[in-house]
Amino acid sequence: MRKLALVASIALLSACSTPQKEQINFTPEAVHSNAKLVQGKTFSLSSQDIRSAQYVALVDSGRSNIEPIHSRQNVRIALENALAEQFKSQGFDLSVNSPNNIELDIQELLVNVKHSVMKNEMDGKVVLVVTAETPKGKLVKTYTGTSKKTGLLSASNSNIQEVLNDLVDKVLKEISHDQELQNYMKDNFQ
């Protein structure tokens, strides 16, 4: 009788458990500078994720349901870490009490996926705002990246992950090579 109760309990608990939501790896890659632009100039870094929703992809399979997919990693922290690494490779030193501040605002970061058994379409968009502020003033720059990709068969999570990470890496590269931002930081950071 005890074994029957145990089996019934396990079956009941198994039926009540909900499946885990789909997630993808978000791994932005910092762009490393070959040469230091400055030496001894510090900055503090802050960030905020101001997106209306925290998922990184929306999958529409055409069956009247759209499924959100979230990142395994915290998007804000992953992007902040990549940006800090980029600036450090350019010679800037990260400090908590610097008079110079860089703020990263994540306004948009999403891949829309429409797929069927035969084909898929992925449209990605990333909008990041970087504000470099000193006691003398500030520079605000908006970086936007878009991506469109089509393929045969339905899109897998690894396909979505690849599109998202490639797109974010392109935006990080644009930030790294932005002469106006580099010159502002070189000339005004202490």
What is the per-residue pLDDT for 125?
A: 96
**Parts of the chain with a pLDDT under 70:** 1-21
Query: CB of 129 within 8 A of CB of 140?
Result: yes
What's the CA gap between 151 and 167, in Å, rounded?
17
Query: CB of 122 within 8 A of CB of 65?
Result: no
Burial per residue of 139-173, b for 16 or more beta-carbon CB atoms within 10 angstroms, e otherwise: beeebebebebeeeeebeeebbbbbbbebbbebbb
What is the per-residue pLDDT for 163?
A: 92
What is the per-residue pLDDT for 10?
A: 54
What's the CA gap between 65 and 24, in Å, rounded?
19
How far, in whole angstroms, is CA 26 from its chain's centroid? 6
One CATH from 3.40.50.10320, 3.40.50.300, 3.40.50.2000, 3.40.50.10610 for 22-188? 3.40.50.10610
Tens-place pLDDT, residues 112-130: 988 777 888 889 999 999 9
Domain residue spans in the chain? 22-188
